[in-house]
């Protein structure tokens, strides 16, 4: 049985990826045991589907057509730097994302959750917190200098139009995951 590892996401414009690349370069000097995510592979994950049977992913592909008529384009703004689970003992560094109108991305998330639940996908139990994962902490260390720098040099907010979502295939490679679009869905 052939399987496909996939997720539903919002892709980012090239200019934003370049801005993030520059910001990461500035932040790197304040960290030692951190693996930085390649900005070219950054995206906003709306729903991680996991490793699933190819036929089920084909049903997802068809199901996602309903998004096109159900949602209008909206704006997303990438802004503040933060960490999960928090500043004290971070495991992940991220940039937050909010939408305008504010509810748009959350409504899209819930729509996908409900729609894909009908195909047998578990609903997410954690609160949806749209973000871009910038780095993963490999070993605990003190990040006081990093937090001081971020406080003085905030990421300049960047707003872009969200006109489509993407069903993306994920290939795990030794150098990190590689993504390839399966299908794009225009928001109308």
Spell out the alpha helix ranges (H) of 82-170.
Answer: 104-117, 144-152
Q: What is the distance of C-alpha 113 from the center of its chain?
A: 16
Domain locations along the chain: 3-186
Question: CATH number of 3-186: 3.90.1140.10, 3.60.21.10, 3.40.50.2000, 3.40.1010.20?
Answer: 3.90.1140.10
Main-chain phi, psi angles of 135, to 5 degrees: -160, 155
**pTM reported for the whole predicted model:** 0.92
Run means of pLDDT, 10 residues per run, the chain, 188 residues: 94 98 96 94 96 96 92 95 94 96 93 94 93 94 95 97 97 86 95
Per-residue confidence (pLDDT) for residue 45, from 0 to 100: 96
Residues 165, 183: Cα–Cα separation, whole Å = 9
Per-residue confidence (pLDDT) for residue 173, from 0 to 100: 84
């Amino acid at each position: 049985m052939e399987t496909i590892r996939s997720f539903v996401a919002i892709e980012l414009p090239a200019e934003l990826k370049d801005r993030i690349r520059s910001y990461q370069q500035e932040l790197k000097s304040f960290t030692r045991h951190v693996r930085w995510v390649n900005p070219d592979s950054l995206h906003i994950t709306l729903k991680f589907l996991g490793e699933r049977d190819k036929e089920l992913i084909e049903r997802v592909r068809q199901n996602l057509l309903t998004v096109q008529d159900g949602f209008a384009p909206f704006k997303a703004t990438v802004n503040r730097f933060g960490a999960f689970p928090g500043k004290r003992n971070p495991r992940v560094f991220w940039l937050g994302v909010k939408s305008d109108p504010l509810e748009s991305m959350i409504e899209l998330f819930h729509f996908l959750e409900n729609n894909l639940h009908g195909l047998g996908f578990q609903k997410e139990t954690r609160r949806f917190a749209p973000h871009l994962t910038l780095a993963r902490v490999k070993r605990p260390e003190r990040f006081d200098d990093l937090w001081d720098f971020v406080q003085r040099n905030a990421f300049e907010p960047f707003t872009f139009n969200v006109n489509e979502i993407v069903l993306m295939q994920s290939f795990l490679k030794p150098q990190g995951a590689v993504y390839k679009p399966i299908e794009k869905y225009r928001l109308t």
